[in-house]
């Protein structure tokens, strides 16, 4: 049944249409929390959605703001994994992984206040939970990357010629979803996040205005600048992946502090987002090429493995050039000067 419906999915021309059909396929193959407490002061000024907004409010004291932001990310994840929201399981896991990345960036931003022991403990928790939930999402990304490649280069990456390989990716995604369901990984993640919530609520935060976060901003920008220089010298997969992680840290940091200094951090935040997206696409293509090379039997004369690998390499080079151009603009300033923007 998976192969039959999978072949029908190839008739669609847009990523959205194919994604819908593929989710039906996967569903057929696989089928078979603490709420944030109300607080005094700032928390009375808004409803639940604004309460969890991932940014400091204008004039909001840093301790209250960072605690609100971190607990908001945790509570949303806890509710999703516990099935308390409107999202399905796959969406809840995807949103949890994004929240964990935001949490880790928030911890890095305040590391100078938390201290190494607290930072290391909670950062490791969030990292380990994210890894346990990653397999199903990673297999979904390969399907999307192949679909986008077919849309961009339909003559070379002909969907009909790629049908056998696509069915292999569909089967892998279905298996990863099944393993996630059977492994109890989300239940363990739920327990870990509930335990972490009490610890995060006790983070030793201090300061009033956003300037109290300047040391964290400086360190995050400095690490990204160092990663960019390494990628500029040698744009290897490893260096680019490290740059992407540092750019994401800066993007999340910018979202938190942008309201305090919009002129200084608006462009930085936008460039960091663009850079992480460009390198993310390049990385996904690298993984797709590696996966395809493992299954040469899934290719025929219509679209040979060499054809696909050459096309992927061409696309990766283009994304690398664009990413390095954005990175040069993003990391042109000195770290101390960027941090002074919060003054």
- The pLDDT score that the predictor gives to residue 51 is 81
Shared domain for 161 and 198, answered yes or no, is yes
Taking the CA atoms of the chain, what radius of gyration do you get in angstroms? 22
DSSP 52: T
- The pLDDT score that the predictor gives to residue 37 is 33
**Residue 53 token pair:** 């907004």
Percentage of residues in the chain with pLDDT exceeding 70? 85
Shared domain for 253 and 201, answered yes or no, is no
Shared domain for 156 and 41, answered yes or no, is yes
pLDDT digits (tens, 9 = 90+) for 241-258: 999 999 999 999 999 999
Lowest mean pLDDT among 31-40, 83-92, 243-252, 288-297: 31-40
Q: Across the chain, what does the average pLDDT equal?
A: 86
> How many CA atoms within 13 Å lie on the side-chain side of 333?
15
The structural domain count of the chain equals 2
pLDDT digits (tens, 9 = 90+) for 264-299: 999 999 999 999 999 999 999 999 999 999 999 999
Q: Which of 208, 237, 260 is the last residue of a domain?
A: 208
Lowest mean pLDDT among 135-139, 225-229, 262-266: 135-139
What distances in angstroms separate CA 14 from CA 138, 213, 283, one per listed residue?
Answer: 20, 43, 22
236: number of Cβ within 10 Å: 11
Task: Tell me: pLDDT of 336 over 50.
Answer: yes
pLDDT digits (tens, 9 = 90+) for 47-77: 455 788 999 998 899 999 999 999 999 999 9
Shared domain for 178 and 226, answered yes or no, is no
256: number of Cβ within 10 Å: 25
- The pLDDT score that the predictor gives to residue 49 is 55
Shared domain for 162 and 260, answered yes or no, is no
- The pLDDT score that the predictor gives to residue 40 is 35
Task: Tell me: pLDDT of 45 over 80.
Answer: no
Shared domain for 166 and 276, answered yes or no, is no
- The pLDDT score that the predictor gives to residue 313 is 97
Give the dihedral sign, CA 289/291/295/299.
Answer: negative
Shared domain for 184 and 226, answered yes or no, is no
pLDDT digits (tens, 9 = 90+) for 161-199: 999 999 999 999 999 888 877 778 888 999 999 999 999
- The pLDDT score that the predictor gives to residue 105 is 97
Dihedral in degrees, nearest 10, Cα atoms 338, 320, 144, 81: -30
Closest by CA position to 275, among listed 203, 323, 205, 243: 323
3-state DSSP assignment of residue 174: helix
Q: 124 falls in which pLDDT band (50, 70, 90)?
A: very high
Q: Comparing 25 with 90, which gets the higher pLDDT?
A: 90
Shared domain for 234 and 128, answered yes or no, is no
Residue 40's contacts (CB-CB under 8 Å, 6 or more residues apart) are none
Report the C-alpha gap between 101 and 133 in whole angstroms: 12
**Residue 248 token pair:** 């994401």
Shared domain for 155 and 246, answered yes or no, is no
What distances in angstroms separate CA 249 from CA 43, 106, 186, 216, 271, one per listed residue?
Answer: 26, 8, 25, 11, 12
Lowest mean pLDDT among 134-143, 165-174, 301-310: 134-143
User: Is 0.75 topped by the overall pTM?
Assistant: yes
> How many CA atoms within 13 Å lie on the side-chain side of 239?
16
3-state DSSP assignment of residue 338: helix
What distances in angstroms separate CA 260 from CA 43, 61, 152, 263, 302, one per listed residue?
Answer: 18, 11, 40, 9, 55
Q: Which domain holds residue 243?
A: 209-343
> Residues of 180-196 as b/e, b for ≥16 C-beta within 10 angstroms?
beeeebbeebbeebbeb
Shared domain for 193 and 235, answered yes or no, is no
Q: Across 16-20, 21-25, 85-89, 163-167, which has the greatest mean pLDDT?
A: 163-167
3-state DSSP assignment of residue 195: helix
Q: Which of 158, 183, 208 is the last residue of a domain?
A: 208
- The pLDDT score that the predictor gives to residue 212 is 96
Task: Tell me: pLDDT of 46 over 50.
Answer: no
Shared domain for 253 and 142, answered yes or no, is no
Report the C-alpha gap between 225 and 237 in whole angstroms: 17
- Average pLDDT (222-241) is 97
Q: Which of 193, 208, 223 is the last residue of a domain?
A: 208
Shared domain for 257 and 271, answered yes or no, is yes
């Amino acid at each position: 049944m998976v192969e039959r419906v999978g072949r029908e999915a190839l008739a669609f021309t847009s990523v959205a249409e194919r994604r819908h059909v593929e989710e039906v396929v996967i569903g057929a193959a696989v089928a078979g929390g603490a709420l944030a407490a109300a607080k005094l002061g700032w928390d009375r000024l808004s409803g639940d959605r604004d309460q969890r907004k991932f940014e400091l409010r204008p004039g909001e004291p840093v301790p209250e703001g960072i605690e609100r932001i971190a607990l908001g990310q945790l509570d949303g994840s806890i509710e999703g994994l516990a099935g308390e929201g409107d999202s399905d399981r796959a969406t809840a896991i995807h949103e949890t992984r994004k929240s964990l990345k935001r949490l880790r960036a928030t911890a890095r931003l305040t590391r100078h206040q938390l201290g190494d022991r607290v930072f290391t403990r909670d950062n490791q928790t969030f990292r380990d939970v994210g890894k346990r939930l990653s397999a199903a999402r990673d297999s979904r990304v390969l399907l999307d990357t192949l679909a986008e490649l077919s849309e961009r280069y339909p003559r070379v990456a002909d969907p009909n010629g790629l049908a056998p390989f696509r069915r292999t990716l569909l089967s892998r995604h279905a298996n990863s979803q099944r393993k996630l369901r059977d492994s109890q990984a989300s239940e363990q993640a739920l327990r870990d996040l509930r335990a972490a919530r009490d610890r995060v609520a006790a983070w030793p935060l201090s300061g009033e205005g956003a300037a109290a976060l300047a040391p964290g901003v400086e360190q995050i920008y400095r690490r990204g600048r160092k990663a960019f220089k390494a990628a500029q010298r040698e744009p290897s997969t490893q260096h680019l992946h490290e740059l992407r992680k540092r750019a994401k840290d800066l993007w999340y940091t910018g979202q938190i502090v942008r309201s305090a200094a919009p002129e200084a951090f608006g462009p930085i935040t936008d460039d960091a987002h663009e850079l992480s997206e460009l390198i993310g696409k390049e990385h996904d293509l690298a993984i797709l090429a590696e996966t395809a090379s493992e299954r040469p039997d899934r290719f025929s004369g219509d679209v040979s493995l060499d054809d696909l690998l050459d096309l992927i390499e061409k696309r990766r080079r283009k994304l690398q050039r664009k990413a390095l151009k954005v990175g040069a603009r993003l990391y042109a300033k000195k770290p101390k000067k960027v941090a002074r923007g919060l003054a």
